[in-house]
Amino acid sequence: MLTVLFSAPARRWAEYEAPLTTALAEAGIAARLVTKADRPGDVDYIVYAPNGGLEDFTPFTGCRAVLSLWAGVETIVTNRTLTQPLCRMVDAGLEEGMVEWVTGHVLRHHLGLDRYILNADRTWAPQVPPLARDRRVAVLGLGALGRASAEALAALRFRVLGWSRTARDIPGIDCRHGPDGLRAVLSQAEIVVLLLPLTAETEGLMDAERLGWLPQGAVLLNPGRGALIDDDALLAALDRGQVGHATLDVFRVEPLPEGHPFWAHSQVTVTPHIASETRATTAARVVAENIRRGEAGEPFLYLVDRDRGY
Ligand code: NAP
């Protein structure tokens, strides 16, 4: 019988206990799910989310893998006490939610919906938007979430540019990569979606120089991580109209502090880190499959490269 430690904020246990129990049983794994490890050395796997109180992995001497419930692993990937394999979450529910958030917010800006929704003085001022086929949208990050979002936008016929660290070939997406590809992508993008992980390389990526590569009035959507953006540079770019609007879901400090200028800026929309969430039913199957693999001596899915940071 395996021991699986569920280490996440307490409220998550109510959400995950039943789906994890079912998924482990369906995968043929006999496991004892616990939320507290009396004998850490006996724990075989850790299901992990930040803010669950676990920071020192040293006592978990028998642990075969740490299975993150989050796609973004920036808070744990640099933890020096973690020597076990770390897997991030790739979940169908998470992916679907992100596709909905991204397409919804791209369509808001593409169609100019605010013009009619916020039309307080009831002005009859028709402005027909271009077709999606004439709108260039860039997606930075072509991993699980970026690729799914880029493909959904392409299915709506947007002209989609994508950017990643290594070369990608995705039908219907104009894929670029590396530092040279970034300028080519940003300089064409009317709407930019950030779906990069936060790493030493991506921190502060959208600084004054890169924001300056955007066409005047471009829209920035950030459902990735707050620290991808230099906040002051973005505020300056908004004030001079280089960036026409920013819709931000993630922030350097969360919750976004009350006095932060993003709250008050007329051209900023704040959503409170809700772009997408791991869904317990689908995620539990991913966790169970990885435990099955671990026990069968098969390679883990979605293994994090600790040097790369994602
Ligand atoms: P992923 O599958 O690991 O994909 C990451 C993508 O970013 C890959 O295409 C990768 O390039 C690219 N990348 C990484 N470093 C790069 C660099 N230095 N230059 C250019 N491209 C780089 O990640 P994911 O599952 O799609 O998730 C992306 C991020 O979304 C997460 O890390 C998390 O921060 C965020 N997220 C947010 C929410 C929310 O609710 N707001 C929810 C879930 C996740 P390669 O293809 O070459 O490897």
CATH, residue 159: 3.40.50.720
The percent of residues above 70 in pLDDT, for the chain, comes to: 100
Q: Domain check: are 15 and 145 in the same one?
A: no
Dist. CA 101–CA 206, nearest whole Å: 21
234 falls within a domain: yes
Does one domain contain both 73 and 196?
no
To the nearest whole number, what is the mean pLDDT of the chain? 97
Structural domain tally of the chain?
2
- In this structure, the answer to whether residues 258 and 290 fall within a common structural domain is no
Q: What is the best residue among 160, 206, 286, 310 to mutate for testing ligand 1's pocket, by most ligand atoms within 8 Å of CB?
A: 310
Q: Confirm or reject: Cβ of 195 under 6 Å from ligand 1.
A: yes
Provide the pLDDT confidence category of residue 294 given band limits of 50, 70 and 90.
Answer: very high
pTM of the model: 0.97
Same domain, 190 and 154: yes
Domain assignment present for residue 223? The answer is yes
Instruction: Give percent of the chain above pLDDT 90.
Output: 100
How close is the Cα of 197 to the center of ligand 1, in Å?
4
Amino acid in position 304: V
- Domain membership of residue 302 (yes or no) is no
pLDDT per residue as tens digits for the range 213-226: 999 999 999 999 99
Is residue 261 located within the same domain as residue 148? yes
Instruction: Give me the amino acid identity at 308.
Output: R
Same domain for 62 and 178? no
Q: Determine, yes or no, domain membership for 189.
A: yes
Per-residue model confidence as pLDDT tens digits over 168-208: 999 999 999 999 999 999 999 999 999 999 999 999 999 99
- Contact at 8 Å (CB) between 247 and 269? yes
Q: Is position 259 within any domain? A: yes
Tell me, yes or no, whether 33 and 156 share the same domain: no
Distance of CA 288 to the CA centre of its chain: 22
Q: Nearest 5°: CA angle at 232, between 230 and 237?
A: 95
Residues 152 and 209 grouped into a single domain: yes
Please, which residues bridge with residue 269 across strands? 247
Residue of the nearest CA to atom 15 in ligand 1? 165
Examine residue 304 and state whether it is found in any structural domain, yes or no. no
Same domain, 136 and 78: no
Query: Closest Cα to atom 23, ligand 1: which residue?
Result: 143
Burial class (CB in 10 A: 0-12, 13-18, 19+), 169: exposed
Q: Which domain holds residue 79?
A: 2-91+278-296
pLDDT tens per residue, range 32-63:
999 999 999 999 999 999 989 999 999 999 99
Question: What pLDDT does residue 256 have?
Answer: 98
Could you identify the atom of ligand 1 that is nearest to the CA of residue 148? 26
Helices (H), the chain: 10-26, 92-111, 114-117, 144-155, 178-186, 208-211, 231-239, 261-264, 280-296
Whether 71 lines ligand 1, by a CB cut-off of 6 Å, is yes
Q: For 264-274, how does the pLDDT look when each residue is reduced to its tens digit (9 = 90+)?
A: 999 999 999 99
Q: How far is the CA of 219 from the centre of ligand 1 (A)?
A: 20
Q: Does some domain include residue 301?
A: no
68-72, long-range: CB < 8 A, 24+ apart: 68/304, 69/8, 69/12, 69/16, 69/278, 69/283, 69/287, 70/278, 71/144, 71/145, 71/197, 71/278, 72/197, 72/198, 72/224, 72/225
Residues 101, 29 share a domain: no
Structure tokens at 41: 């050395």
Q: Do 69 and 13 touch, CB atoms closer than 8 A?
A: no
Judge if 291 and 259 occupy the same domain: no
User: 223: Cβ below 6 Å to ligand 1?
Assistant: yes
245 as an active site residue: the answer is: no
CB of residue 164 inside a 6 A radius of ligand 1: yes
Whether residue 273 lies in the annotated active site: yes
- The tokens 């992995």 sit on which residue? 57
DSSP assignment of 156-223: TT-EEEEEESS----TTEEEEEHHHHHHHHHTT-SEEEE-----TTTTT-B-HHHHTTSPTTEEEEE-
Catalytic residue among 64, 176, 210, 225: 225
Per-residue buried b or exposed e for 19-43, using 16+ beta carbons within 10 Å of the residue's own CB: bbeebbeebebebebeeebeebebb
Residue 171 lies in a domain: yes
| Per-residue model confidence (pLDDT) at position 64 | 98
Say if residue 143 is in the same domain as residue 49.
no
Pairwise CA distance, residues 14 & 17, whole Å: 6
User: How much is the pLDDT for 21?
Assistant: 98
